[in-house]
Amino acid sequence: MAEAPNHDEVLARFDELSVLEAEFDDAELEIIRKSNALNAPLYKKRAEIIAKIPHFWALAFEQAPPEIDNFLQPSDSQVFAEALESLDVTRFEIDDPKGSPRSVSITFGFKDNKFFEDKVLEKKFWYRKSKDWEGLVSEPVKIHWKKGNDLTGGLTDAAVALAQARKKLAKTNSAKSAETELPEYKALAEKLEMSTEASLSFFAWFGFVSSYRWITAEESEEASKADAERLEKLKQGEKVEDEEDDEDEQDFQETEVFPSGDEIATLIADDLFPSAIKYFKHAHETEDDELSEIDVEDGDDDDDESDEEIDIRGLVGKGRKADHSPPAKKQRKA
Amino acid sequence: MAEAPNHDEVLARFDELSVLEAEFDDAELEIIRKSNALNAPLYKKRAEIIAKIPHFWALAFEQAPPEIDNFLQPSDSQVFAEALESLDVTRFEIDDPKGSPRSVSITFGFKDNKFFEDKVLEKKFWYRKSKDWEGLVSEPVKIHWKKGNDLTGGLTDAAVALAQARKKLAKTNSAKSAETELPEYKALAEKLEMSTEASLSFFAWFGFVSSYRWITAEESEEASKADAERLEKLKQGEKVEDEEDDEDEQDFQETEVFPSGDEIATLIADDLFPSAIKYFKHAHETEDDELSEIDVEDGDDDDDESDEEIDIRGLVGKGRKADHSPPAKKQRKA
C-alpha cells in the first residue's frame, strides 16, 4: 500500500476478486469430485459392515452434534430406532456437465413399521442458480403414512399437492403471481400457520422445497450462462452493470414446510454421513460394555413386534437411572 | 440382518469399522493435499489483490460467523482495523512424511502500531497424537507488547515463560509431576485465576498450547507407530487389547490461557481464510455504495497518525446512525 488507492482502483479490485472467486469455485468442485471418487468405495464397504450392526444409524443420529440432533423430535427418534436400516448419500450429478457436484441425494432405507408404507425415502437436492441466489432446491417427497400415524400432521401431503399444482400451472400459465391463487397454496399456508415449528417432525423435511424459491433446471441453466458471460467480460476488463433486482413479491416462505431443509441436507451430507462411525462409536463409549449387551439383545427383534418397545435413548444410555455417569461431551473433528 | 448377531460378531464389526476408519483418514489426508495444491496459487493471487485493498482482513474478521467473531473483543478489532495487513495460512508439514497435512501455520502481518513491536506474529499448530488423544498443539508466541498496552494483561508473557521452563525441565528431569512445582507454573495459574474469560483478548490465543496437553514430536511419533501396529493386527484379525488408561493427574487446563485455541485455529484455517472474499464482500454489501467512499477516504491513512481514530465498526457500518437498515443476516456456505 505504497500509495493511496482511489475510488476506481478499489472498484477494480472488486472485479478482480470476483474473477478469482470463480477460480476458487472451480477448485472446490474438483475437490468434491476427487473426494467422491476416493470415498465412494469406502462408503460401500462401510454399508456392508453397517448392515450387520443393529441400530447403527439411529445411534449415529442420536450422537450427532446438536445442529442435527435438534431437528429430531422424540417420535422421530423412535421411528429411526425401530425402523431405520440404511442411509446413503450420493452426488448424482457429479458426471453431468449440466448438473453440479454439489447436488446431493439422501436416501433412507426402512423396514416394516407402523408409521408409513415406504421402504425407501429418497430426497434429492439440486444445486441451482437464479439471478440473485444459488443453493439447494428439492421436490417434496410423498410419504405413504399409515392411518392416524402421520407425524407431520398432513404437511408432507400438502407440500406434494402444492408442488404438483405448481408444475401444472407452469405448463398452462406464465403469470407468476397466480400460484398464490391455487387452493393447494392456501391449504398449505393455512396448515403451516396452525402448526408450531417447535414440534415440527424431522419427516416434514421430506416436504422441503427451497430456502429461496423453487428454481427449474432451465432457469438455473440460463442464470449460469449469464454468470459465465459476466465473468468473461470481467476477465477482459470490461465494465459490467449490476443486474437489476426485480424482486418477486410472493412470499415463498409462506408455504415452505421445513425452512432450514437445505441446511439439514448439508449437515447430513457433509457431517453425519462422513463421520457416522465416529458418532456411532461415541454412542457406545458413553455406556461402556453394558451397552453392547443391550444391542445384542435387540438384534433379534426383526421378526416380531417387540420392536415397538425400543427407546433409542435407552439404547444409548440416555435417560437411564441417575447413578450412571453423564455422557461425555460431544466432540468435533479438529 | 437375516440372523441375530451374537456378542462376538458385534465386537468383530467394531474392529472392521476401526480398520475402515483408518482408510477414511488416509482419503481425507489425500484430499487435504489435493486441496492445498489446487488452492495455493489462488491464495497467492488473492494476497496480491488484497494488499491493495485497505482493511480487507479487518472487514473479513468482522463479518465472519459468530463462532469466530465472538472471540474478538472491541480492542482486538481496533488493532485489526488499525494495523492488520495480511493473513496467511500454510500447511507446513504437507510434504513431510513424519508430519501431518493437518498441521497448520497461521501468520498475521501488521504495520506499525501502538500495541506491539512485532510486524509478524506466526502461530504454528502441529497435529500430534498421544495414546488417547489427537489434535492440534502449539507453542506460545512471544508478543513484544509496548509499555502499558498488553491486551492480555501479561498472559502471553507468562505462557511463554512456562513453556520455556517446561522445556528445560524435560531436558533435566524425567519426573512428570514436577511441572506444577515450577514458579512459572504457579505464576501463570494465578494470573489465569484472576482473569475472566469473558473479556479475554483474542491475542491471548497466541499463548495457546493444547486443549489436552503439550505433546512432543517424539511422543507423537511413538503413538503413531503404536497405532499402526494395532491397526495391522486388526487387519490380520488378531485380538487387540485396549490400551490401559494411565491418566495423568496434572490438570493441564489450569495453565491453558486460551482453552479453545485449537478450535479457533481450525475456524480460521477452514472457514475465515478460504471464504475471506465472501466475508469481505458481505461487509460491503451491508452498507452499499456509501461504504466504498469511506474506504477510499481511509485508504490514505498509511502515512500519518490518523490511523488511531479508525473504528472498524464504522468501516462496516455497524453502530452508525439508527436510520440505516440493519445489517443483513450473515450467510453460510451451502
Which of helix, strand or coil describes residue B78?
helix
Looking at chain B from residue 6 to 45, which residues have their Cβ under 8 Å from any Cβ of chain A?
A: 6-7, 9-11, 13-14, 16-17, 20-21, 23-24, 27, 30-31, 34-35, 38-39, 42, 45
Kindly give the parts of chain A with pLDDT less than 50.
Answer: 1-3, 289-310, 313, 316-334
**B53 vs A contacts (CB less than 8 Å):** 5, 10, 13
B243 located within any domain: no
The pLDDT score that the predictor gives to residue B162 is: 94
Which of helix, strand or coil describes residue B21?
helix
A325 located within any domain: no
| CATH code, A115 | 3.30.1120.90
B329 touches chain A (CB under 8 A): no
* Interchain proximity B38–A27, CB inside 8 Å: yes
For the packed helices A217-235 and A7-50, what is the interaxial angle rounded to 10 degrees? Answer: 140
Dist CA A300 CA B9 (whole Å): 13
Q: Which candidate in B38, B271, B329 is best for mutational testing of the A interface (most A CBs within 10 A)?
A: B38
The pLDDT score that the predictor gives to residue B139 is: 97
Of B32 and A181, the one with more pLDDT: B32
User: Of A23, A45, A262, which is closest to B42 when you measure between CB atoms?
Assistant: A23
Q: Count how many pairs of residues, chain A against chain B, have C-beta atoms within 8 Å.
A: 137
**Locus of grid cell 496437553:** B213
A82 located within any domain: yes
Question: How confident is the model over B313-317, as a mean pLDDT?
Answer: 48
The pLDDT score that the predictor gives to residue A289 is: 44
Residue A103 near residue A92, CB atoms below 8 Å: yes
Q: Which candidate in A9, A19, A44, A49 is best for mutational testing of the B interface (most B CBs within 10 A)?
A: A49
Nearest to A57 by CA among A84, A94, A23: A84
The pLDDT score that the predictor gives to residue B250 is: 76
* Interchain proximity B1–A51, CB inside 8 Å: yes
CA distance A217 to chain B (A): 18
Closest residue in A to B263 (Cα–Cα): A334
B302 located within any domain: no
A306 touches chain B (CB under 8 A): no
- Output the nine-digit C-alpha cell for B306: 490518523
How many distinct structural domains can be found in chain A?
1
Nearest to A206 by CA among A98, A91, A115: A115
* Interchain proximity A34–B39, CB inside 8 Å: no
The pLDDT score that the predictor gives to residue A331 is: 38
Q: Which candidate in A11, A16, A275, A329 is best for mutational testing of the B interface (most B CBs within 10 A)?
A: A16
Q: What amino acid is encoded at B2 in this protein? A: A
* Interchain proximity A296–B10, CB inside 8 Å: yes
Dist CA B273 CA B89 (whole Å): 7
Condensed to tens digits (0 to 9), the pLDDT of residues A33-60 reads: 999 999 999 999 999 999 999 999 999 9
Residue A115 near residue A83, CB atoms below 8 Å: yes
Which residue segment(s) compose the domain that B193 sits in?
A: 9-236+255-283
The pLDDT score that the predictor gives to residue B7 is: 72
Instruction: Give the range among A308-312, B86-90, B122-126 with minimum mean pLDDT.
Output: A308-312
Of A251 and B119, the one with more pLDDT: B119
User: Of B1, B20, B136, which is closest to A334 when you measure between CB atoms?
Assistant: B136
* Cα–Cα distances in angstroms (integers) from residue A328 to residues A62, A323, A332, B213, B256, in the given order: 13, 15, 12, 19, 21
Closest residue in B to A25 (Cα–Cα): B39
* Interchain proximity B334–A49, CB inside 8 Å: no
The pLDDT score that the predictor gives to residue B156 is: 95
- Global pTM exceeds 0.80: yes
The pLDDT score that the predictor gives to residue B328 is: 37
HEC-encoded secondary structure of chain A: CCCCCCHHHHHHHHHHHHHHHHHHHHHHHHHHHHHHHHHHHHHHHHHHHHCCCCCHHHHHHHHCCHHHHCCCCHHHHHHHHHHEEEEEEECCCCCCCCCCCCCEEEEEEECCCCCECCCEEEEEEEEEEECCEEEEEECCCCCCECCCCCCCCCHHHHHHHHHHHHHHHHHHCCCHHHHHHCHHHHHHHHHHHHCCHHHCCHHHHHHCCECCCCCCHHHHHHHHHHHHHHHHHHHCCCCCCCCCCCCCCCCHHHHCCCCCHHHHHHHHHHHHCCCHHHHHHHHHHCCHHHHHHHHHHHCCCCCCHHHHHCCHHHHCCCCCCCCCCCCCCCCCCC
**A292 vs B contacts (CB less than 8 Å):** 7, 10-11
Condensed to tens digits (0 to 9), the pLDDT of residues B248-304 reads: 667 788 889 999 999 999 999 999 999 999 999 988 876 544 444 434 334 344 444
CA distance A182 to chain B (A): 31
Residues in contact with A221: Cβ distance below 8 Å, sequence separation at least 6, in sequence order: A98
B226 located within any domain: yes
The confidence band for B324, taking pLDDT boundaries of 50, 70 and 90, is very low
Nearest to B270 by CA among A35, A28, A91: A28
Nearest-5° angle of CA B277, CA B280, CA B283? 150
Residue A265 near residue A141, CB atoms below 8 Å: no
B320 touches chain A (CB under 8 A): no
A297 located within any domain: no
Mean pLDDT of chain B: 83
Residues in contact with A24: Cβ distance below 8 Å, sequence separation at least 6, in sequence order: B39, B42, B274, B277
A201 located within any domain: yes
Which of helix, strand or coil describes residue B121?
strand
**A299 vs B contacts (CB less than 8 Å):** 1, 4-6, 10
* Interchain proximity A9–B49, CB inside 8 Å: no
B136 touches chain A (CB under 8 A): yes
Instruction: Give the range among A164-173, A302-311, B100-109, B139-148 with minimum mean pLDDT.
Output: A302-311
A42 located within any domain: yes
A266 touches chain B (CB under 8 A): yes
Condensed to tens digits (0 to 9), the pLDDT of residues B156-175 reads: 999 999 999 988 888 776 65
Looking at chain B from residue 36 to 95, which residues have their Cβ under 8 Å from any Cβ of chain A?
A: 38-39, 42, 45-46, 49, 51-54, 85
ipTM over 0.85 threshold:
no
The pLDDT score that the predictor gives to residue A298 is: 41
**Position B5 pLDDT exceeds 60:** no
